[in-house]
Structure 1
């Protein structure tokens, strides 16, 4: 329950429980504990808490406990459930050769933190190193930072600092715009704390899969868009990144019915967070890796972004992996590709080469 109370500023679950369920029975407490125990202790690595949550809400409904505030209570319980899970890494990566700094808050909302894990190679004490921030996918709605922990550990074992981040998910916020705010706050935190952790603040890269790739792309293309910064978290520091790699990247072009606009009216926030709309001559170099058989985010999304980058004279690469679907990247081979691109940008006079290619 200490963890539940820690999440309370964000979920408001206990506050609603107190006002809605005025005389909770032992059976209610047992049902509530079964929900929390399943998510936090028994199955902490699931991507969402919906199965145990459904059982808990069914108990409450069958016993007529929720009344007119049912939907509000369900939302609070869902927020709590999502915050209790930890998720599971996509692949196991090398251990050793780097220091771990875990569960560090990079931004607060209503007193509740969004956290990151930072992995810094031991060699960083000799000279500052670049840092790659890895952003998990899941439709801006599921998964946690542990999903890409293998990427970060692999990167740190090869001499670059790396971070994985959580961000607010759609069950708790109105739109993905707030996910963008958090992603930018994470970049600002890394840059603001670069000296402390022996990171080169001029060499920050980002990479992500699916919705995380969208966030990486928006970071790469909107370094100077002040209205996308949000309102908290090291606002005096730049959120501009110097390189990016997108894995199954949504372009949000509006040209076709593709995720996340697949039917009905275009969401109001769609154009506001479209990386395709922001591409300009000063954007970060970016590589796009996509499965040829991706039916969730069509390969044309990556191709559109790649072509738009080329038209602006930006350094960019496109790799279509034949026969692969949407989540093709849960392996060390993809982590190697991400690091290879970052090294070609950041090392061997890579930044100057990139500028030359733009010219």
Structure 2
């Protein structure tokens, strides 16, 4: 190959490689550590996972929270856990909030509300429909999901922070083993030992426990919610699901309570994983795809 041919071939290679890199930069399969806000000099981050095939334009925010601790994990590991959503065309956001013990439950709720606003404001960037946003989580993550579903609000037109002008409402919730009434599990440091004493986030005054209990916040305009509880759960007994089921029935909120017998707080097992995943997908399909397509 002569020098001219070599230069032409090299130019073509660079052009193709640059185009490929550009396409990857705009829509990588995993976009880790996307910053959705700052506080106390720290970045609040989420990992973004693109669907495996064509996007269905719907988004699912996964609350990374257990005991209101929010820990970082390798994105590839998180992606494997959420792969069943990605295979169905959903774009998934793994949202980390300010973690216990440094930050409280009210602060965690504020963080995840901001995350919803951020995703909605950046809908075009993430190739999603801003009116097709669902949330899910397990245990404390389920609690935060229900808080988003029961307390979502429209944007604040007079807010100084431009992001607060964007709505924090979500269109569907899937909450796994969520505590729905914090009033029965909070503890005061001045009182005796509680079975929940190992969770610093639950050291809340009763007025805050009431304000941040999804059960207390149920109103007719809440997001359709699927609540799944373990029949043998000792940490968050299934009665938490029964309580919010009654409240949502009274308020006429579209919802479903599923109590899985013979399992505890670790709701998803090797034997029921496929069934659980199908139930979650069916709920999001109904309220993020079918209902949205009908203009509801």
TM superposition score normalised by structure 1: 0.63
| 1:209 lines up with 2:148 in the alignment | no
Q: How much has 1:120 moved relative to structure 2? A: 2.0
Q: How much has 1:295 moved relative to structure 2? A: 0.5
Aligned partners of 1:157 and 1:260: how far apart in 2?
42
| Paired residues, number | 250
Unaligned runs of at least 5 residues, structure 1: 1-96
Give 1:251's match in structure 2, choosing from 180, 186, 191: 180
Q: How much has 1:345 moved relative to structure 2? A: 1.3
Q: How much has 1:131 moved relative to structure 2? A: 0.4
Tell me the residue number matched to 2:204.
267
Give 1:348's match in structure 2, choosing from 278, 290, 295: 290
Tell me the residue number matched to 2:68.
140
Moved more, 273-282 or 333-342: 333-342
Aligned partners of 1:204 and 1:297: how far apart in 2?
26
State how 1:133-172 maps to structure 2 within 5 Å.
Answer: 133-141=61-69, 143-144=71-72, 149-172=79-102
Q: Aligned in 2, Cα 1:350/1:320: closer, same or farther, shift over 3 Å?
A: farther
Paired residues of 1:114 and 1:166 also in contact (CA < 8 A): yes
| 1:185 lines up with 2:124 in the alignment | no
Tell me the residue number matched to 2:279.
337
Deviations 1:246-299 (A, max 9, x none): 100111163xx4477957998222112111111101000000111001111110
| 1:301 lines up with 2:230 in the alignment | no
Q: Which has the higher contact order (CA 8 A, sep 6+)?
A: 2
Aligned partners of 1:234 and 1:102: how far apart in 2?
21
Paired residues of 2:132 and 2:289 also in contact (CA < 8 A): no
Paired residues of 2:58 and 2:128 also in contact (CA < 8 A): yes
Give 2:54's match in structure 1, choosing from 102, 118, 123: 123
Aligned partners of 2:50 and 2:209: how far apart in 1?
36
Paired residues of 1:207 and 1:338 also in contact (CA < 8 A): no
Deviations 1:167-188 (A, max 9, x none): 1112222x21000011111111
Deviations 1:193-244 (A, max 9, x none): 11111101001000000000000000000012889xx996821211100000
Aligned partners of 1:351 and 1:315: how far apart in 2?
17
Tell me the residue number matched to 1:277.
216
3-state SS in 2 of match to 1:241: coil
Runs of 4 or more, structure 1, over 6 Å off, are 230-233, 263-266
Unaligned runs of at least 5 residues, structure 2: 1-26, 189-193
